[in-house]
């Protein structure tokens, strides 16, 4: 059987891992596939990386074109990241009739619809298991394993950096700045952590998971995004007193008509499976109408976990090449996903439980005024903690609400923040708590 020739663009961390797997596990992969995956050429602009790759001289090049123009290369692996050259290379590979494997979630979230349409027109495939949750086979699960299900809701801890910082803040009481510095010292956070801590990377991944779940076009712009960089350890402590922990969650939920699409710090009950996802680990917790709740958990990033996903994609594309059935499964798992739109529920229409923390002067009647305004806006209170006076002269009043509409919560907070006895801004977080929900029904 003909060997499958692979060209790899980008010899960074993940690229190096892919070279290692293709080299060290060559025979194992052939035992599975029945033929060899051959790394014909790897490209990188950095000579030091090329030298470090332990490949033969004719296997390395500084020019991506040497891969794109090689008619013997069947599959191009794009691992340079970003939406610049990566996009050009992917389009160029498609144009030359090559299949593509990528780990590039930003590229897919921003340009996935165009790239997938171009690939479909050309009869080639784009595989992207490595773009979400590293080696966890979540794309495979949504695209094939759970194909009999309507995905009713999905919660994801999709960014290891943010989860590491939140875990540190929760376990040690560290400030955001301290936890970030520690994450950077351990190599879990980059010098500029914006993409990770502001929820942007998580939103890229949520856009991909939503397309797979609903069989619809990628729609990054409609995802409401808040990060973790303004978190106060005080709120993690109060959350703990109510039995919650804080996670940066990607959330989508289908009410049959519209779908929620949001990324923000979220309180989850400490006995929820997601509460035990600590440090740099990732997880997706979803509910399918037939299968019920499912959790997939593992390392969401790193050299070898991500390389594991890239190589599983290579195996899948190789099998399609061997059988001459490109596009056996549609890229997003649905025949017409790129022609399907889902209506997004604006964040103001969201109905959920809220955690509210007011800073109020410790005067008689404060609780009555605050709760009066909440009541006027149809928000009822499920639990309250009010503690004694602090040095600063204000006391925190912390509340968990019953289910309320986001627009009402925001209007109520704006009104409360205008009270002379309240020191704005009021802090609020959303809660995902099945128990709380059930208690109201």
Kindly list the catalytic residues. Answer: 205
**Residue of 313, 239, 301, 228 lying closest to 272 (CA atoms):** 239
The span of 5-13, 229-237, 308-316, 385-393 binding a second copy (CB under 8 A) equals: 308-316
From CA 348, how far away is CA 400, in angstroms rounded?
19
**Least distance CB 119 / a second copy (angstroms):** 17
Report the residue number, 131 or 401, with the smaller CB distance to a second copy. 131
Hey, CA dihedral for 333, 336, 337, 342, is it positive or negative? negative
From CA 276, how far away is CA 331, in angstroms rounded?
32
The span of 193-201, 249-257, 303-311, 363-371 binding a second copy (CB under 8 A) equals: 303-311
Pick the binder of a second copy from 336, 339, 348, 440 (CB under 8 A). Answer: 336
**Least distance CB 334 / a second copy (angstroms):** 5
Tokens of 385: 């903690």
Q: What letter does residue 408 receive in the DSSP assignment?
A: H
Q: What letter does residue 278 receive in the DSSP assignment?
A: -
Pick the binder of a second copy from 121, 323, 391, 441 (CB under 8 A). Answer: 323
**Least distance CB 122 / a second copy (angstroms):** 18
**Least distance CB 201 / a second copy (angstroms):** 20
Report the residue number, 329 or 419, with the smaller CB distance to a second copy. 329
Let me know: does 429 contact 401? Beta carbons within 8 Å: no
**Least distance CB 254 / a second copy (angstroms):** 12
Q: What are the percentages of helix, strand and coil residues in the chain, rounded to 5? A: 45, 25, 35
Contact flag: residue 123 with a second copy (CB under 8 A): no
The span of 109-117, 134-142, 367-375, 392-400 binding a second copy (CB under 8 A) equals: 134-142
Contact flag: residue 2 with a second copy (CB under 8 A): no
Site for a second copy in 179-218 (CB under 8 A): 215
Tokens of 77: 């692996």
**Least distance CB 312 / a second copy (angstroms):** 5
Contact flag: residue 149 with a second copy (CB under 8 A): yes
CA angle (17, 20, 22) in 5-degree steps: 110
Pick the binder of a second copy from 47, 95, 150, 418 (CB under 8 A). Answer: 150
CA distances from 66 to 9, 74, 81, 93, 164 (A): 10, 13, 19, 11, 40
User: Is the N-terminal amide bond of 425 cis, ω within 30° of 0?
Assistant: yes
CA angle (4, 10, 16) in 5-degree steps: 75
**Residue of 154, 153, 149 lying closest to 289 (CA atoms):** 149
Site for a second copy in 418-437 (CB under 8 A): none
**Residue of 270, 237, 230 lying closest to 385 (CA atoms):** 237
From CA 153, how far away is CA 361, in angstroms rounded?
40
Site track 17-56 with a second copy (rule: CB under 8 A), x = hit:
x---x---x--xx-xxxx----------------------
**Least distance CB 277 / a second copy (angstroms):** 9
The span of 53-61, 90-98, 314-322, 347-355 binding a second copy (CB under 8 A) equals: 314-322
Note the residues at the interface with a second copy (CB under 8 A): 17, 21, 25, 28-29, 31-34, 129, 134-137, 140-141, 144-150, 215, 271, 273, 276, 283, 288-299, 302, 304-305, 307-309, 311-312, 315-316, 319-320, 323, 325, 328-330, 333-336
């Amino acid at each position: 059987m003909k060997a499958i020739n692979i060209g790899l663009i980008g010899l960074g961390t993940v690229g190096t891992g892919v070279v290692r797997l293709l080299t060290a596990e060559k025979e194992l992969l052939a035992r599975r596939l029945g033929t060899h995956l051959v790394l014909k050429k790897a490209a990188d602009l950095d000579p030091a990386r090329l030298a470090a790759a332990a490949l033969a001289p004719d296997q390395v090049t500084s020019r991506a074109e040497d891969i794109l123009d090689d008619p013997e290369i069947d599959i191009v692996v794009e691992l340079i990241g970003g939406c610049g050259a990566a996009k050009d290379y992917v389009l160029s590979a498609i144009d030359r009739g090559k299949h593509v494997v990528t780990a590039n979630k930003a590229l897919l979230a921003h340009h996935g619809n165009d790239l997938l349409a171009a690939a479909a027109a050309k009869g080639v495939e784009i595989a992207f298991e490595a773009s979400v949750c590293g080696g966890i086979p979540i794309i495979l699960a949504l695209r094939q394993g759970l194909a009999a299900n309507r995905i009713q809701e999905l919660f994801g801890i999709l960014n290891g950096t943010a989860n590491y910082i939140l875990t540190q803040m929760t376990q040690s009481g560290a400030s955001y700045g301290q936890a970030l510095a520690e994450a950077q010292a351990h190599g879990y956070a980059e010098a500029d952590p914006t993409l990770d801590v502001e929820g942007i990377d998580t939103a890229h991944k949520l856009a991909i998971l939503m397309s797979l779940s609903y069989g619809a076009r990628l729609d990054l712009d409609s995802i409401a995004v808040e990060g973790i960089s303004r978190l106060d350890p005080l709120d993690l402590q109060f959350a703990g007193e109510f039995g919650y922990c804080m996670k940066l969650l990607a959330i989508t939920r289908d009410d049959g008509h519209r779908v929620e699409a949001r990324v923000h710090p979220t309180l989850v009950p400490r006995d929820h499976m997601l509460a035990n996802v600590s440090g740099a680990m990732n997880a997706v917790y979803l509910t399918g109408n037939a299968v019920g709740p499912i959790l997939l958990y593992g390392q969401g990033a790193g050299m070898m976990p991500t390389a594991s996903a890239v190589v599983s994609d290579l195996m899948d594309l190789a099998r399609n090449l061997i059988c001459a059935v490109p596009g056996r499964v549609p890229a997003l798992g649905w025949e017409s996903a790129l022609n399907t739109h889902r209506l997004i529920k604006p964040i103001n229409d969201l109905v959920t439980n809220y955690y509210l923390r007011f800073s109020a002067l410790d005067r008689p009647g404060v609780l009555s005024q605050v709760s009066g305004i909440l009541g006027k806006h149809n928000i009822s209170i499920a639990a309250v903690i009010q503690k004694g006076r602090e040095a600063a002269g204000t006391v925190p009043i912390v509340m968990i609400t019953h289910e309320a509409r986001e627009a009402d919560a925001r209007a109520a907070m704006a009104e409360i923040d205008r009270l002379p006895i309240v020191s704005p801004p009021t802090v609020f977080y959303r809660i995902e708590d099945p128990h709380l929900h059930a208690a109201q029904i």
